[in-house]
Amino acid sequence: MTLETFLSEKKPAIAEKWFHLILATYPADTSNFLKNQKDRFTNPVGHTIHQGIEEILDELIHVVDIGKVSPFLDSILRVRAVQDFTPSQAVSFIFSLKSVIREELEGDKNFAVSPGELRELDSRIDSLALASFDIFERCREKLYEIKANELRRMTFRLVQRANELGGEPDAESPPERKQ
């Protein structure tokens, strides 16, 4: 059996354990809610994490195409980027996957993984983590951009009229403007 087959078989168990580990980074009352509330509109955080890790695992089992996996990392990190986490806490959930998979390997006496395969898997997880740091950073940058845009939207017309009255030639008029 290859590691790939092993991981495919164990995927439901891995996903479940990984999900629980991620939820454990929230206070107890919250993690119960995130775990048990199944309505995706009442529990968007739990739903997003759950769906995201399923998709990430699918990718990880085969080859990691960062382009493909990015949207799923993004959906989880976008949430964690505005919650009470430091960058390392926000991204830590990727590393916890290593321990989840190792536990599964340890628990299965019929399969022995080759060190090469394991190293390769670790490096795939590392590449997910690196991508995650970039995504997290982009989310944080987006917040700054939104603050700036909001200010522009709030004052656009004031500035525009002031410029027009002052004869400034560079005031754009809304009919030419795209939002």
Partner 1 sequence: MATKVTTPKPDQLVTSIDFTPPKTGWMDTPTIIKPGTFCWGAKGKNLATVEFPNARDWNPSDQDWKLPENWQEIFLKGMEDLLGKYRSFKVFMDICVRCGACADKCHFFIGSGDPKNMPVGRAELLRSVYRKYFTASGKMLGKVAGARELTVDVLKELWYYAYQCTECRRCSLYCPYGIDTAEITIMCREMLNLLGLNTDWISGPVANCYMKGNHLGLEPHAIMNSIEGMIDDIETVTGVRVNPSFNRKGAEILFVTPSGDLFADPGTFTCMGYLALFHELGLDYTWSTYASEGGNFGFFTSNEMAKRLNSKIYAEAKRLGVKYIIGGECGHMWRVLHQYMDTWNGPADFLEVPVSPITGTRFDTAKVLKMIHITEFTADLIKHGKLKLDPSRNDDLVVTYHDSCNTSRGMGLLDEPRYVIKSVCNNFYEMPENTIREQTFCCGSGTGLNASENMELRMRGGFPRANAVKHVKEKHGVNMLANICAIDRATLSASMDYWVPGVRVTGVHEMVANALIMKGEKERETNLRGEPLPGKEGN
33 binds partner 1 (CB under 8 A): yes
114 binds partner 1 (CB under 8 A): yes
Most distant CA pair in the chain: distance in Å? 81
65 binds partner 1 (CB under 8 A): no
3-state class (DSSP) for residue 81: coil
Smallest gap, in angstroms, from Cβ of residue 129 to partner 1?
A: 11
CA distance 159 to 114: 66
Return the range that interacts with partner 1 (CB under 8 A); candidates 8-16, 56-64, 65-73, 152-160: 152-160
179 binds partner 1 (CB under 8 A): yes
- In angstroms, the Cα distances linking 26 to 87, 90, 95, 107, 176 are 15, 11, 17, 27, 48
170 binds partner 1 (CB under 8 A): no
130 binds partner 1 (CB under 8 A): no
Binding residue for partner 1, selected from 9, 20, 70, 118, defined by CB under 8 A: 118
Burial class (CB in 10 A: 0-12, 13-18, 19+), 140: middle
> Contact, 135 vs 74, CB < 8 A?
yes
95 binds partner 1 (CB under 8 A): yes
CA distance 104 to 122: 15
Footprint on this chain of partner 1 (rule: CB under 8 A): 21, 24-30, 33-34, 37, 39-45, 47-48, 78-79, 82-84, 88-89, 92, 95-96, 98-100, 102-103, 105-106, 112-115, 118, 139, 142-143, 145-147, 149-151, 153-158, 160-161, 164-165, 173-179
